[in-house]
Amino acid sequence: MTKIRIAVQKSGRLNEDSLAILKDCGISIDNGKDQLKATARNFPLEVFYLRNGDIPQYLRDGVVDIAIIGENVLVEKGQDISVVEKLNFSKCRVSLAVPKGVKYNSVKDLEGKKIATSYPNTVNGYLKSKGVTADLHIINGSVEIAPNIGLADGICDIVSSGSTLFKNNLKEVDVILTSEAVLAVSPTISEERMEILKKIQFRIKSVLQARQ
């Protein structure tokens, strides 16, 4: 029997809520914790646990058919991937932040400055739209520490509760985008799997309605 292949975040902030929404859709998945792949018991679906940043490419290549992913990741590296449902969890912002003591009036203050980020395309697009040129330092995690160790003048990263900024003595100065978890679809999904996707979407819509 044909199964639809869904990517969910392997570990991190989306993982639990992604599995919870599938569960609420009545889809039970054996959670072999260290397994990278699992099969649903009562629905034609296989789950692939992947790194967030790899998911757009897996969708593009048709290795998976659908994915639960943050919009922020699609903005950064999956502008060509379509979204079929917004899932109303994992809400966050991608923002610029600078040390609390630094005066900041507008993004123009970042002209010629060093910005540490894991979202280079997002930052570059934003800076370009504002006519600002800055020097990006691409790092993969713990971005907020960069200004404190003299590596950058500012940062661009995900802000959710704001506690990481607070702990690192930074202030959010510009929101580049707002994001939430979404259901995204491979451009190469087959007709047959499209039918399975429609069933999932139908269930997701009622779950989201019931959660309101």
| Residues lying near ligand PRP in the complex (CB under 6 A) | 12-13, 141-142, 144, 157-164
For residue 32, the minimal CB distance to ligand PRP (Å) is 24
For residue 46, the minimal CB distance to ligand PRP (Å) is 26
Mention every residue, 6+ apart, whose C-beta is less than 8 A from residue 165: 97, 144, 159, 171, 172
Q: Which is nearer to ligand PRP, 131 or 141 (CB)?
A: 141
For residue 167, the minimal CB distance to ligand PRP (Å) is 8
For residue 118, the minimal CB distance to ligand PRP (Å) is 7
How far is the C-alpha of 195 from the C-alpha of 141, rounded, in Å?
Answer: 38
Which residue, judged by CB position, is nearest to ligand PRP in the bound state? 141
Q: Which is nearer to ligand PRP, 65 or 144 (CB)?
A: 144
Q: Which is nearer to ligand PRP, 15 or 164 (CB)?
A: 164
Q: Which is nearer to ligand PRP, 181 or 185 (CB)?
A: 181
Question: For residue 101, with 0-12 CB atoms within 10 Å meaning exposed, 13-18 middle and 19 or more buried, which class applies?
Answer: exposed
How far is the C-alpha of 94 from the C-alpha of 85, rounded, in Å?
Answer: 20
Q: Number of helices (H) and strands (E), helices first, in the chain?
A: 6, 11
